[in-house]
């Protein structure tokens, strides 16, 4: 439920604010696409952590580049499993 709400917020940003702000992301995939992938793959807690960590690195002094969502959740969240990742491992 929380994951769906967070994903809806990111999609809302992509539809409303992103076109006005332009594409300035230094990473591939973009930060909003990364966020959707992280939330889908790792759930609300780990996905939010990964998103915030990515946004903190997205600044003018960062080199950027290819930065995919990790296959495994960060160590802090390794004990948590989202329903989608539990289904994938079955």
Residue 55 lies in a domain: yes
Higher pLDDT, 83 or 75: 75
**Is 64 part of any domain?**
yes
Total structural domains within the chain: 1
- Does position 79 have pLDDT exceeding 80, yes or no? no
Domain contains 39: yes
Domain holding 46, by residue range, is 25-68
What pLDDT does 26 receive? 85
Residue 48 lies in a domain: yes
For the residues of the chain, what is the DSSP string, one character each? -HHHHHHHHHHHHHHHTHHHH-----EES-HHHHHHHHHHHHHHHHHHHHHHHHHHH-STT---EE-PPPSS--GGGTT---HHHHHHH-
Q: How confident is the model at residue 78 (pLDDT cuts 50, 70, 90)?
A: low
Note the pTM of the prediction, 2 decimals: 0.77
The mean pLDDT value of the chain amounts to 83
Residues above pLDDT 70, as percent of the chain: 84
Query: Is pLDDT at 51 greater than 80 in this prediction?
Result: yes
């Amino acid at each position: 439920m929380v994951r769906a709400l967070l994903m809806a917020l990111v999609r809302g940003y992509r539809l409303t604010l992103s076109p006005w702000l332009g594409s300035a992301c230094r990473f591939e995939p973009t930060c909003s696409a990364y966020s959707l992938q992280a939330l889908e793959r790792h759930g609300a807690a780990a996905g939010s952590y990964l998103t915030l960590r990515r946004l903190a690195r997205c600044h003018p002094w960062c080199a950027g580049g290819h930065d995919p969502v990790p296959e495994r959740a960060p160590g802090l969240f390794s004990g948590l499993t989202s329903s989608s990742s539990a289904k994938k491992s079955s």
